[in-house]
Structure 1
């Protein structure tokens, strides 16, 4: 059994934590793609060389109009067309219905993988029945630096707060597998049964905080996420999905600020929805106050587009508040663990 470091852990209950999935579970790697023909060769070639004994590769295509299908056909991968661009969360939720595996590995198309990446993640995830997800190390494309490692809370201010009063550090080191509050959905291995029990990704999170929301809901159910430092991949950060493609077209037309503005609206909208959906009322109010203070600060600095992005995030959340409150009741109804306990586990103090 692989040992996962966690606060207050002991040998008591070890038998209960042993794997509930099969001895050699099938892993379905779901590669999200949108016009990524130039990215797929590195991704699919290294996935095809994984030493995982039971592994299928599925290219989840969001309506590409390039030659992605022809490129994918060169590799042992199944082509799963969505027919249109459903974004990140909706495409993955739909693809899960066609996946065959007990374990699901969500990955971006702008990654390449060490040959033992999938097997190391699966080994840790299946060794402990209290786990929901396993998160690998992401290194820069040249391997020179870690761009995603151990996630933990650090002291924050209204400029960078995520869960009051904490900001988040994403690149902390770890000597071995260690529990974290959430993993990165761009490369996350999860147990299928628990992903489905959680109703998958929240489809309103097009991009940003969909992984935070998912893993937080899992933890409230008693299902933990673990960071596995020796499972390694390399990431061309920012190269996947239509966000990058829109940016390139924006540069050509001199419209980078517009593209950036949409992303800032999305970021703050999803952060606020996450808070309203899963945080205790007091902390949700503190998060809203911090975002309001952030907007006011940008007004004083004449950064009016940033301030407007935050204001529009409040407007968007006001419009869908009934849906958010209904989701909040569902999260609370299945909760086994208290929010405060999660914060206490992962702070740096």
Structure 2
């Protein structure tokens, strides 16, 4: 959105310095014409801001390649073989849909809890994961397209859980590679004015779209109890509950209920889909 000039330049420099992979790069302007784009890099300009997940869908549709790298414009690949290492791991196991590196703040080295795609937040432990941090990950195109890509109407927040669940429902898994580190500033998502509303709305949409109907109330009950415990500010709580109501009353998008076999696989992998 042309609001991160210095960060964008550093991100592109680190991306174009990658070795051992053939890159086809496109920059998506979400409601703007992209600026500061290196010579030779293609751009797509959208007439309006359609949100982050739909912007990623547009990007994926405009590049070639068997693997798709989704890369935030304030991230940095500190090593020139980062993508090659992720790609090697992905290609070694045909059951993997996606691989995610460890995301760390460039100044402190801290990996935020929300960047670790598992319930037990050991950022240094590799292994199978059932969700993803959306800002930087590598995925097979032949999985991304059949499962339907990102849920574009989510606009922002929780689109990675939705995509990961659909990958698992198609028989695939995800993998976390903490030995590959990507730098990203440790910002607070609540800086977005719409965070609490969209966070709650999309939680509801996520459950309604993907879970067997009997599990939807359990999932939403867990979320509600966590919200009541976490959000002590009455204004924040009211906004979150308004988003919850919006999620219940509005169209959640096409429903693709996961099988009970997928529920069992997710549970055995350490993350029952009610959490």
Of 304, 313, 317 in structure 1, the residue corresponding to residue 234 of structure 2 is: 304
Deviation at 1:105, TM superposition (A): 0.4
CA distance in 1, matches of 2:97, 2:2: 28
Question: Which structure carries more strand by proportion?
Answer: 1
> Which one of 282, 286, 300 corresponds to residue 218 of structure 2?
286
Q: Secondary structure at the match of 1:59?
A: strand
Partner of 1:252: none
Work out which of the residue numbers 109, 119, 123 in structure 2 matches 1:153.
Answer: 119
CA contact (8 A) 1:120 1:230 kept: no
Match of 1:340 in 2: 264
- Indicate if the aligned counterparts of 2:105 and 2:186 stay in contact, CA closer than 8 A: yes
Alignment of 1:102-113 (within 5 A): 102-113=66-77
> 8 Å contact 1:182–1:225 — kept in the other structure?
yes
Indicate the residue corresponding to 1:55 in structure 2. Answer: 23
1:10 aligns with: none
The structure with more radius of gyration: 1
Q: Write out aligned runs for 1:217-228 (5 A).
A: 217-228=166-177
Asked if structure 2 preserves the Cα contact closer than 8 Å seen for 1:291 and 1:310, the reply is no
Asked if residue 199 in structure 1 is aligned to residue 148 in structure 2, the reply is yes
Please state whether the residue corresponding to 1:142 is helix, strand or coil.
Answer: coil
CA distance in 2, matches of 1:172, 1:105: 21
Q: CA deviation at 1:53?
A: 2.8
CA positional deviation for 1:276: 2.0
Residue of structure 1 equivalent to 2:249: 319
Give the distance between the partners of 1:187 and 1:340, measured in 2 at CA: 27
> CA, structure 1 residues 315+274, in 2 after alignment: closer, same or farther (shift >3 Å)?
same
CA distance in 2, matches of 1:91, 1:347: 28
Q: CA deviation at 1:285?
A: 0.7
The verdict on how the C-alpha distance between 1:34 and 1:223 changes in structure 2, with shifts beyond 3 A counting, is: farther
Q: Partners in 1 of 2:183 and 2:153 — Cα distance?
A: 28
- Return the alpha-carbon distance in structure 2 between the equivalents of residues 297 and 50 of structure 1: 44
SS in 1 for 2:174: strand
Asked whether the equivalents of residues 101 and 136 of structure 2 are also in contact (C-alpha less than 8 Å), the reply is yes
| Corresponding residue for residue 124 of structure 1 | 89
1:179 to partner: Cα distance:
1.0
| Pairing partner for 2:130 from 181, 185, 202 | 181
Please, what TM-score do these two structures have when normalized by structure 1? 0.69
For residue 186 of structure 1, report the CA deviation from its aligned partner.
Answer: 0.4
Change in 2 beyond 3 A, CA 1:190/1:306:
same
Deviations 1:101-136 (A, max 9, x none): 111100100011021111011111111111110101
Aligned 8 A contact 1:269 1:313 in 2? yes
Q: CA deviation at 1:279?
A: 2.6
* CA offsets 1:56-111 (integer angstroms, 9 cap, x no match): 2221111336xx52x2135x532222232221011111222211111110010001
Deviation at 1:319, TM superposition (A): 2.2
Consecutive unaligned residues in structure 2, runs of 5 or more: none
| Equivalent-residue separation in structure 2 for 1:233 and 1:101 (angstroms) | 22
SS for the counterpart of 1:72 is coil
Distance 1:129-1:307 versus aligned 2 partners, 3 A rule: same
